[in-house]
Amino acid sequence: MPELPEVETTLRGISAHIKQQTIAKAIIRQYQLRWPIPANIQQLLANKSIAKLERRGKYILLRTNSGTIIIHLGMSGNLRILTKPTPPKRHEHLDLIFHNNKILRFTDPRRFGAFLWVEGDPYEHPLLRNLGVEPLTKEFSGQYLLSQAKGRTIAIKTLLMNNAIVTGVGNIYAAEALFASCIYPAVPAKSLSIERLDKLVKCIKLILRQAIKRGGTTLKDFVNSEGKPGYFSSQLKVYGRNGSPCMVCGKTLERMLLGQRSTVYCGSCQR
């Protein structure tokens, strides 16, 4: 599933091609995504210019002067830029064709993604309104987590994955940051000291920034790419490594279910 670094990398990758560019035409081959694409989207988007691209959590906002396209990549979606007309393959549901001849193509095999149009303030849209703080901002701190954990019995990993508290730290990066900060994923959030929460926040920011940086080196994949751009699995230390040896102590990594999500951890390094 695309997580925050993949979404940020996607945003940066497409920005250079479509910022300040005007949409000539929208071609929709499949309207049924997680929510239906508005039926009149062609009329809505014709001749709109992309003034600004923004990310909020895992949403990509393409802002025009009279409204905003809200895109979510869902479980399996990706966006890429084509520089010449290319016959669509299966699951390539949508093209935005720009006056500069660039084509923004949205692919989503599982169709859990979204492509919506909103007039007015996009941050007031029901999908965005209740999102928590951005993990790469100053507002996200150990102190903030401490205040959110107060009086709750929630496990620290479940707290991190609550989008209303901090948005965009998904399963992969929550597991990786807990490993990096030596915190057992199921530990009650409220029992962690401010020192440990500070360390955790530092690790989350570092790991997200490193992933975004690595994504930057694959930006070329956003042009005429056949594959899925921007997945950084080679650097993961626990996620997807159940049964393999811990890279720090050598003990076999274990797996548990937390909030119905699979979590891999080291029973020896994480307390």
Residues engaged in binding Zn ion (CB under 5 A): 246, 248-249, 266, 268-269
245 is known as an active-site residue: no
Which of 85/245 has CB closer to Zn ion?
245
Contact 255, 262 (CB under 8 A): yes
Dig out the tokens for 195 from the structure.
């020192």
Q: How many CB atoms lie within 10 A of CB 22?
A: 14
80 is known as an active-site residue: no
- Tell me which of 2, 122, 185, 229 is the catalytic residue: 2
- Tell me which of 5, 8, 48, 58 is the catalytic residue: 58
Dig out the tokens for 118 from the structure.
């909103």
Residue 141 to residue 243: CA distance in whole angstroms: 33
2 is known as an active-site residue: yes
Quote the DSSP letter at residue 56: E
6 is known as an active-site residue: no
Which of 47/244 has CB closer to Zn ion?
244
Are β-strands 78-82 and 261-265 bridged in parallel, bridged antiparallel, or unpaired?
Answer: unpaired
Least separation in angstroms between residue 33's CB and Zn ion is 41
Which of 3/176 has CB closer to Zn ion?
176
Residue 205 to residue 141: CA distance in whole angstroms: 10
Which of 178/269 has CB closer to Zn ion?
269
- Tell me which of 3, 6, 8, 92 is the catalytic residue: 3
Least separation in angstroms between residue 182's CB and Zn ion is 9
Dig out the tokens for 223 from the structure.
């042009």
Provide the annotated active-site residues: 2-3, 58, 261
